A and B are shown apart, each in its own frame.
Chain A
Amino acid sequence: MSEPIRFHYDVDGENFTSAGEASVAVKKKLRQLGYPPDVIRKVSIAMYEGEINMVIHANGGAADVEVYDDKIVIILADHGPGIPNVELAMQEGYSTARENIRALGFGAGMGLPNMKKYTDDMKIDTEVGVGTTITMTVDL
């Protein structure tokens, strides 16, 4: 198997306005590489939700995308507060986001379920007080 194509982005946790820039950039790259629209849509929506989460819940982090022959892997790592109860966080509608975030159009508690829905595999490694790493795979 050949070496994957890798993309790396730093996600600024201070700036809600720029949140999602990495996902937009990945979407553009995948288009240029000629991937089918449904694959691109899955990858970019899942990554966008994860990127928004890093900004609104974890003060930013790093996003890495690895494109293999048979799959695309998205790794979102932050040093935020961690997720105390992953099972609860995965439930549709569960959110700790406050009103100020909801006023920005997010915090409906659909992000994590949505990320799971759009990807073929999703792993959450999280530790309270240390951070969260989410690894998502979309099969090609």
Chain B
Amino acid sequence: MKIAEIRDLLRAEVLSGEECLENDVYAACCSDMMSDVLAFVKDQGVLLTGLLNSQVIRTANMMDMVCIVIVRNKVPTEEMIELAKEHGLVLMRSPLRAYEACGVLYYAGLGREGADV
């Protein structure tokens, strides 16, 4: 799925990484615990979270993720936006709640390739 499609599906506002919207991603994960993302995530390109601090961006960078979605209309700090730009990450914010946002992306097929549904 193209990152631009994620933006459209989640009615999101893009705050950084506009130039990467045509890139493809294949899976996503959702967590407010960066510890868990670092421990359990493998090759997921998209991170959905309601957490707002610079460690969200660094965690995504460490995990070679390419897109971060901040849910529930929260507003990322200036520092997060700057860091995301520095790392070439797409950062967007969506009005949807985490549960809805995940549902929408899952239903649209993200991370479901090959699944029997």
Query: Which residues of A does B touch, CB under 8 Å?
Result: 16-20, 23-24, 27, 37, 41, 44-45, 48-49, 52, 102, 104-111, 113-114, 117
Is B62's CB under 8 angstroms from A45's CB? yes
Q: Which 8 pairs from chain A and chain B are nearest by CB?
A: A108-B35, A105-B34, A110-B39, A20-B58, A110-B35, A114-B39, A105-B51, A48-B62
Q: Which residue of B is nearest A97, CB measured?
A: B35
Is B62's CB under 8 angstroms from A105's CB? no
What's the minimum C-beta distance from A72 to chain B, rounded to whole angstroms? Answer: 15
Determine the distance from Cα of A114 to Cα of B38 in the docked complex, in whole angstroms: 8
Helix, strand, loop or mixed for chain A's interface?
A: helix
Determine the distance from Cα of A16 to Cα of B79 in the docked complex, in whole angstroms: 13
What's the minimum C-beta distance from B61 to chain A, rounded to whole angstroms? Answer: 6
Query: Taking A20-B58, A48-B58 as contacts, is the C-beta distance between A105 and B33 under 8 angstroms?
Result: yes
Q: Count chain A CB atoms within 10 A of each CB in B34, B51, B59, B63 and give the residue with the most.
A: B34
In the assembled complex, B53 has its CB within 8 A of some CB on chain A: yes
Is A45's CB under 8 angstroms from B58's CB? no
Please, which residues of chain B bring their CB within 8 A of the CB of A37?
A: 64
Determine the distance from Cα of A52 to Cα of B56 in the docked complex, in whole angstroms: 13
| Residue among B54, B55, B87 making CB contact with A106, cutoff 8 Å | B55
Q: Which residue of A is nearest B37, CB measured?
A: A105
| Residue among B34, B53, B62 making CB contact with A23, cutoff 8 Å | B62
Determine the distance from Cα of A109 to Cα of B39 in the docked complex, in whole angstroms: 10
Is A106's CB under 8 angstroms from B35's CB? yes
Please, which residues of chain B bring their CB within 8 A of the CB of A44?
A: 62
Interface CB pairs A-B, < 8 A, 15: A18-B54, A20-B55, A24-B62, A45-B38, A45-B63, A49-B38, A102-B33, A104-B53, A105-B32, A108-B33, A108-B39, A109-B35, A110-B35, A110-B36, A110-B38
Please, which residues of chain A bring their CB within 8 A of the CB of B34?
A: 105-106
Q: Which of B23-51 contact A (CB under 8 A)?
A: 32-36, 38-39, 51
Please, which residues of chain B bring their CB within 8 A of the CB of A17?
A: 53-54, 79
Please, which residues of chain A bring their CB within 8 A of the CB of B32?
A: 105
Is B56's CB under 8 angstroms from A105's CB? yes
Please, which residues of chain B bring their CB within 8 A of the CB of A18?
A: 54
Q: Which residue of A is nearest B56, CB measured?
A: A105
Q: Count chain A CB atoms within 10 A of each CB in B33, B58, B61 and give the residue with the most.
A: B58
Determine the distance from Cα of A23 to Cα of B58 in the docked complex, in whole angstroms: 9
Please, which residues of chain A bring their CB within 8 A of the CB of B58?
A: 20, 23-24, 48
